[in-house]
């Protein structure tokens, strides 16, 4: 089949959505296309050639991929995580940058050293996950569940953690300057020696077990003490 253009892909998606259907790319040639930020929810990629395609920030939830689908390993992994879950699996050092992983099930997953910069992890389940040394710069972790997660030495600069549950999370030596922690749950979180520049903590919750960096006075941050 002849190579499709991005414009043709967008038209196919729009037409399918107007008809209340899912986009059909069965057997299509989408190789080396810039497909970033497109919504491929439910799309049929059976026997589709997606090799070399840029799927940064693209939605792949519900998309259909089969053994004949040609797709780069990174995006096949993203597809697998969002559609099959990845609890307890190892992704040490993998590149998941700019991936849409909304509500992904990654509890107890080993993501140490992984590149998750610019990724969308809104509402992701990451309790007990290992994110030691992970790159989470600019990532969206709003409403994510990070209970007992290990974020030590991770880079969270510019990340959005609004409403995130960080109860008993390990944030020691973590770079969190410019992070949005508004209304986050920090009860029992250990933030010893974290780099705290320009962090927004308005109405974040903490308790007597929360450990703050030595230079931070929680009473001046807008955070709320709870029993």
* pLDDT 10s digits, 17-45: 999 999 999 999 999 999 999 999 999 99
Given a cut of 70, is residue 201 above it in pLDDT?
Answer: yes
Predicted confidence at residue 222, as pLDDT, reads 96
Distance, C-alpha 88 to centroid of its chain: 16
Closest by CA position to 60, among listed 145, 48, 11: 48
CATH code 2.160.20.80 region(s) in the chain = 85-227
- DSSP code, position 2: P
Predicted confidence at residue 182, as pLDDT, reads 97
The SS3 assignment for 56 reads coil
Please state, in angstroms and rounded to a whole number, the distance separating the CA atoms of residues 187 and 164: 11
pLDDT tens-digit series, residues 165-193: 999 999 999 999 999 999 999 999 999 99
Given a cut of 80, is residue 199 above it in pLDDT?
Answer: yes
Per-residue pLDDT averaged across 62-70, rounded?
A: 97
The answer to whether the pTM exceeds 0.75 is: yes
Per-residue pLDDT averaged across 86-102, rounded?
A: 98
The class of domain 85-227 in CATH terms is mainly beta
Q: What percent of the chain has pLDDT over 70?
A: 100
**Matching residue, tokens 């944030």:** 171
pLDDT tens-digit series, residues 107-149: 999 999 999 999 999 999 999 999 999 999 999 999 999 999 9
Distance, C-alpha 153 to centroid of its chain: 18
Please state, in angstroms and rounded to a whole number, the distance separating the CA atoms of residues 170 and 161: 15
The answer to whether the CB of 164 falls within 8 A of the CB of 184 is yes
Q: How confident is the model at residue 1 (pLDDT cuts 50, 70, 90)?
A: low
| Residues 6 or more apart in contact with residue 217 via CB below 8 angstroms | none
Range scoring the smallest mean pLDDT among 59-63, 184-188, 193-197: 193-197
């Amino acid at each position: 089949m002849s190579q499709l253009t991005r414009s043709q892909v967008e038209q196919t998606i729009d037409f399918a959505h107007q008809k209340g259907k899912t986009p059909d790319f069965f057997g299509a040639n989408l190789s080396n296309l810039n497909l970033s930020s497109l919504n491929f929810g439910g799309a049929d990629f059976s026997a589709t050639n997606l090799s070399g395609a840029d799927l940064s920030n693209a939605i792949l939830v519900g998309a259909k991929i089969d053994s004949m689908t040609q797709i780069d390993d990174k995006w096949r992994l993203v597809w697998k995580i969002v559609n099959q879950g990845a609890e307890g699996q190892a992704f040490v050092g993998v590149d998941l940058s700019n991936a849409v992983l909304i509500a992904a099930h990654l509890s107890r997953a080993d993501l140490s050293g992984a590149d998750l910069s610019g990724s969308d992890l809104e509402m992701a389940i990451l309790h007990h996950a290992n994110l030691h040394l992970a790159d989470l710069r600019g990532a969206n972790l709003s409403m994510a569940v990070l209970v007992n997660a290990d974020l030590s030495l991770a880079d969270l600069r510019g990340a959005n953690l609004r409403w995130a549950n960080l109860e008993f999370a390990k944030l020691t030596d973590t770079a969190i300057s410019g992070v949005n922690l508004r209304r986050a749950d920090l009860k029992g979180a250990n933030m010893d020696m974290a780099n705290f520049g320009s962090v927004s903590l308005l109405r974040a919750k903490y308790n007597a077990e929360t450990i703050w960096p030595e230079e931070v006075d929680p009473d001046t941050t807008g955070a709320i003490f709870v029993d």
